[in-house]
């Protein structure tokens, strides 16, 4: 009876992996945010790690758990992996909790240049008390654009991102729009780094496809959403 072939050794893929500590970007004091396995240094570059503001600051869980942060690995140094803040956004649950019947939702999306020439895509959302007409919505967008244009032009990317994450921009937006309409909430719901600036490491191609932009708001408000970026008219 012929002897069967001897089975070859089964490789333990987990043993071959290297574990690295992923560090937050410099604006967040490079605190550890994850401990992940990688097959090689090259394969790690471009991966995006999602966490929350609470996981980093350990403060105000009720509010900071609602802010999601996305850090992209830009290299591997030994057992650590530095990152750049690729973006921040409201959680889906938080965004939906802001929707009210009988109110207006105003969206504003546009790309801006920071002081170090980084390109950031900023998504502003405002919810009013009661419905407002198109003219007031337009005024809110103009006021929002003015605030963000001034702040982005005077701040480096990391500084601008910090102001968005810590709601400093939201307070400025509210102050500039409160005379236009009764605002229940206004803020930067999302910031996305589109292009790295001077002195920043080149953004690697993401190792994972980005999720498509999700629809926001209840059905009765969907018709009020505005087209992105180029459709926003600014005087």
Q: Can you give the pLDDT at residue 3? A: 58
The domain locations on the chain are: 16-90, 98-203+225-231
pLDDT for residue 132 is more than 80: yes
| Burial per residue of 197-219, b for 16 or more beta-carbon CB atoms within 10 angstroms, e otherwise | beebeebbeeeeeeeeeeebbee
The residues with which 233 forms a beta bridge, in sequence order, are: none
pLDDT 10s digits, 13-46? 656 678 899 999 988 889 999 988 888 878 888 8
Q: Can you give the pLDDT at residue 226? A: 39
pLDDT bin (cut points 50, 70, 90) of residue 224 is very low
Distance, CA of 87 to chain centre: 3
What the block records as the tokens of 117 is: 């020439």
Positive or negative, the CA dihedral 16, 208, 45, 26 is: negative
pLDDT bin (cut points 50, 70, 90) of residue 131 is very high
| Beta carbons of 8 and 17 less than 8 angstroms apart | no
Identify the three-state secondary structure at position 72: strand
| Beta carbons of 67 and 161 less than 8 angstroms apart | no
pLDDT bin (cut points 50, 70, 90) of residue 56 is confident
pLDDT bin (cut points 50, 70, 90) of residue 205 is low
* Tally of CA atoms within 13 A in the half-sphere of 101 that contains its CB: 0
- Fold classified for 98-203+225-231: Tetrahydropterin Synthase; Chain A (3.30.479)
| Beta carbons of 139 and 183 less than 8 angstroms apart | no
**Range of lowest pLDDT (109-123, 138-152, 161-175, 189-203):** 189-203
């Amino acid at each position: 009876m012929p002897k069967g072939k001897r089975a070859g050794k089964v490789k333990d893929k987990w043993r071959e992996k290297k574990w690295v500590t992923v560090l937050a970007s410099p604006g967040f004091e490079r605190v550890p945010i994850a401990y992940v396995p990688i097959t090689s240094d090259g394969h790690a570059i471009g991966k995006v790690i999602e966490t929350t503001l609470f996981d980093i600051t350990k403060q105000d869980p009720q509010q900071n758990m609602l802010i999601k942060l996305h850090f992209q690995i830009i290299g591997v140094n030994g057992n650590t992996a530095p990152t750049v803040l690729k973006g921040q956004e409201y959680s889906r649950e938080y965004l939906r909790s802001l929707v009210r019947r009988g109110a207006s939702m105003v969206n504003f999306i546009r790309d801006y240049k920071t002081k170090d020439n980084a390109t950031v895509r900023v998504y502003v959302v405002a919810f009013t008390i009661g419905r407002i007409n198109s003219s007031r919505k337009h005024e809110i967008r103009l006021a929002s654009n003015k605030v963000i244009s001034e702040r982005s032009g005077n701040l480096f990317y990391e500084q601008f991102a910090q102001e968005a994450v810590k709601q400093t921009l939201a307070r400025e937006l509210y102050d500039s729009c409160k005379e236009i309409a009764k605002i229940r909430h206004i803020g930067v719901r999302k910031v996305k780094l589109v292009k790295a600036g001077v002195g920043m490491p080149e953004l690697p191609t993401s190792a994972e496809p980005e999720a498509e932009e999700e629809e926001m708001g209840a059905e009765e408000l969907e018709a009020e959403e505005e087209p992105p970026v180029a459709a926003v008219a600014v005087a």
